[in-house]
């Protein structure tokens, strides 16, 4: 057992914190719920009272990461005072670069759960696109599926930077690149006419949860 056994406080939080530390050390694989228990200083049976398996622990940690990111992006958009989509992109890429060991193991939107009291990143993105439609800065015909187009662009940039496939010298250069990617994506969305059959309807765990099934469209 650990040198300083865990006797009090929030054991669930301690288990999540320890699992997050292990992910930073080794990635999402290569450790067990038993190892987490030992590091915290409790028996595996105590940990099983909170998480039935290692997968359950990883799922709960994913939800916590998602909620934390949602709060961060919500704050960034609120402070932007009108240029929310660029602020969203900058916040997402900065998060990925500041915590790459965690970010690279989750496509952060791709979970249907999460803390229902926390803003979901996908909902924040969709809301900003809806505002652009309402203000006339994005044609309504371009709106279907646009959240997935912007997400692909922003997440792609984040992945390139996190994995070292693209290098930028300063945080200011990163922000400028995000600005260019987001604005270029919006220009493309605004100029591209939809095909006769309409745009495809991408889905995720989140959009299926909020629309009640695979045929719905989040907005």
In a domain, 103, yes or no: yes
**Same domain (yes/no): 48, 66:** no
**Same domain (yes/no): 43, 74:** no
**Same domain (yes/no): 122, 14:** no
d(Cα 172, Cα 192) in Å, to the nearest integer? 30
**Same domain (yes/no): 48, 72:** no
**Same domain (yes/no): 44, 66:** no
What pTM was estimated for this model as a whole? 0.83
Q: Domain end: 52, 71, 92, which one? A: 52
In a domain, 21, yes or no: yes
Could you list the pLDDT tens digit for every one of the 219 residues in the chain?
444 555 556 899 999 999 999 988 888 788 899 999 999 999 989 999 999 998 899 888 888 888 889 999 999 999 998 799 999 999 999 999 998 888 776 544 445 455 566 788 999 999 999 999 999 999 999 999 999 999 999 999 999 999 999 999 999 999 999 999 999 999 999 999 999 998 899 988 888 888 775 654 554
State residue 178's pLDDT score. Answer: 98
Name, in order, each residue with C-beta under 8 angstroms of 145's C-beta and a sequence gap of 6 or more: 199, 200, 201, 202
For residue 102, give the 3-state DSSP assignment: helix
Name the domain count of the chain.
Answer: 2
**Same domain (yes/no): 109, 194:** yes
Residue 200 belongs to what domain range?
61-211
Reading the block at residue 5, the tokens are: 């056994």
**Same domain (yes/no): 144, 194:** yes
CATH number for the domain that contains residue 139: 1.10.357.10
For the CA atoms of 11, 13, 19, 23, the dihedral, rounded to the nearest 10 degrees, stands at -170
**Strand spans (E) along the chain:** none
How open is the CA angle 47-115-98, to the nearest 5 degrees?
85
């Amino acid at each position: 057992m650990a040198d300083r056994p865990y006797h009090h406080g929030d054991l669930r939080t301690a288990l999540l914190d320890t699992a997050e530390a292990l992910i930073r050390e080794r990635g999402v694989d290569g450790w067990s719920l038993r190892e987490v228990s030992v590091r915290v200083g409790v028996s595996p049976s105590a940990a099983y009272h909170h998480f039935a398996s290692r997968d359950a622990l990883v799922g709960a940690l994913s939800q916590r990461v998602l909620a934390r990111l949602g709060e961060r992006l919500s704050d960034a958009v609120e402070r932007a005072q009108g240029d929310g989509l660029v602020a969203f992109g900058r916040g997402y890429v900065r998060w990925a670069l500041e915590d790459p060991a965690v970010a690279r193991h989750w496509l952060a939107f791709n979970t249907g759960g999460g803390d229902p009291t926390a803003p979901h990143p996908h909902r924040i993105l969709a809301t900003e696109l809806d505002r652009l439609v309402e203000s006339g800065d994005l044609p309504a015909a371009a709106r279907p599926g646009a959240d997935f187009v912007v997400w692909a662009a922003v997440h792609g940039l984040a992945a390139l930077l996190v994995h070292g496939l693209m290098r930028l010298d300063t945080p200011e250069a990163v922000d400028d690149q995000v600005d260019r990617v987001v604005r270029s994506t919006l220009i493309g969305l605004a100029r591209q006419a939809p095909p006769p059959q309409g745009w495809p309807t991408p889905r995720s765990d989140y959009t299926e949860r909020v629309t009640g099934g695979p045929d719905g469209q989040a907005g």
